[in-house]
Amino acid sequence: MKRKTIIMWFRNDLRLHDNPALYEAAKQGDVLPVFIDTSEESIQGIGSAESWWLHHSLEALKRSMKDYQTPLVIRKGRSEEVLQRLIKEVNADAVYFNHSYEPGVYERDQQIINTLNNQGIIARTFHANVLFVPGTVKNKQGNVYKVFTSFWKQVRQQKVERPVPAPEKITMKLPEDFSIGNVSMLNLIPDQQWPEKFHAYWNPGEKGAKERWQDFLLDAIEFYDSKRDMPALEGVSGLSPHLSWGEISPRVIWNQSKEKLDEVSYEKGLGDRYQQIESYLRQIVWRDFAYHQLVAYPHVLTQPLKEEFKSFPWLENVEGLERWKRGKTGYPLVDAGMRELWETGWMHNRIRMITASFLVKHLLIHWLEGANWFRETLVDHDIANNIMGWQWVAGSGFDSSPYFRVFNPILQGEKFDPTGDYVRKWVPEIASLPTKFIFAPWTAPESVLQEHGITLGETYPERIVDHKAGRERALAAYYEMKEK
């Protein structure tokens, strides 16, 4: 009996382990692994930083495929057209792929499935990149949850499927004149030179993801809750970019974390360690919560979830936006975060909240401007997480921070960077200042500034806005909106 020829369509699932579409394809037939650059079909497109990551992740997957003596086929174009050509070239019987939950992509995928089925081509889809399929976790009224705590309480009691192994073998005999393609033809490396420094901080690909996860699981996960808000400490997993491109499965993270949790629960006097790991599981679930909301309310990408925010009086502030992007606001903690982002393609989550709050509240700049900049510069850009985070800070999302909660970047620094080490690392021009002035250099006596070679407005920017005045202006704008 002739074995099926199955096209395995890789998307944001660039891994071999716990890849259900690949696992099933390899069991049932000869497999043609293919990645299609379909960026022209995406609503948002792809930012420069994640484009850099994708290039190196594909190269890593290509190397992994060599262990199976199987090439990774690279194509660019509209997905349905590319798949139709490949089906003809290799006489394929089926196309397998894992679901994407990006608005517009789901509808496109359904159209492809219908077209293929009408042609007699099998199209099978799988869920690989979330713990709980968006839309399946609902409240008693049959609606998706709008409050995270309620969502968490329900899913915490649910079982997550066990991961499937990587295929034992992948076979495929290609026609003699078949073109494999190469990653470089996708032109993913940005013309700007700035992403090249990311190599010093990241190792894209499944191997890099596994190494980072094992290092974190071995030790740091047991201190996660204590350290996760401290940007100067290595207290977080750093898995977000690997999760974004599916180089590691959330099911692997969940199940192995639970195993660690079970180990700890049997040991006496280790309640704190239990809480540390539980806190990490909770953070992993935030990602699923974001996808549930994105699928239920796809307009969230450009519109506030709370209708009243459509009339919010945002300001056009070109200079303010540019100074925020470049880390030149005059607030050291905000500037440190924006410079870390530019240097590494990543920013600590606590600092993301502070920098985002500063943009939308101190500067009254629309949250979409910030979301677009993060999309351009984050290696871990995730369409659901990014938008939910910005709407949370702006106060326009479900279960969001109240708009009248305005982060004070001075007090936040004193609380979460008490030694000033984080600011000193990323804002070296004021690094020698005593800690009591490091978050508000304008409060230092002139003699102290001179002693440390600092001239505000020259060696380090003057404040773009006074904190008290910025807060009052933000609250006035909020109440103006409420009165409309």
Q: Which residues are annotated as a binding site for FAD?
A: 224, 280, 380-382
Q: Which residue in this structure is represented by tokens 């798949």?
A: 83
- Check: CB of residue 129 under 8 Å from CB of residue 99: yes
Give me the torsion for CA of 201, 205, 211, 214, rounded to 10°: 110
| Whole-number Å distance between alpha carbons of 456 and 446 | 10
Closest by CA to 82, choosing from 67, 69, 68, 97, is 97
Tally: H helices and E strands in the chain: 20, 5
- 143: Cα separation from own chain's centroid: 25
First CA to last CA distance, the chain: 71
Backbone phi, psi, residue 121, to 5°: -95, 130
In three-state secondary structure terms, 98 is strand
| Whole-number Å distance between alpha carbons of 359 and 411 | 17
Q: Which residues contact 23 (CB under 8 A, 6 or more apart)?
A: 164, 165, 166, 167
| Whole-number Å distance between alpha carbons of 7 and 440 | 58
As annotated, the binding site includes: 224, 280, 380-382
Q: Which residues contact 134 (CB under 8 A, 6 or more apart)?
A: 101, 288, 291, 292, 294, 295, 296
* HEC letters along 309-353: HHHCCCCCCHHHHHHHHCCCCCCHHHHHHHHHHHHHCCCCHHHHH
| Whole-number Å distance between alpha carbons of 206 and 212 | 10
Q: Which residues contact 353 (CB under 8 A, 6 or more apart)?
A: 389, 393, 401, 407
Tokens at 56, concatenated: 């190196």
- Check: CB of residue 339 under 8 Å from CB of residue 426: yes
| Whole-number Å distance between alpha carbons of 290 and 101 | 11
**Bridge partners of residue 123, in order along the sequence:** 95
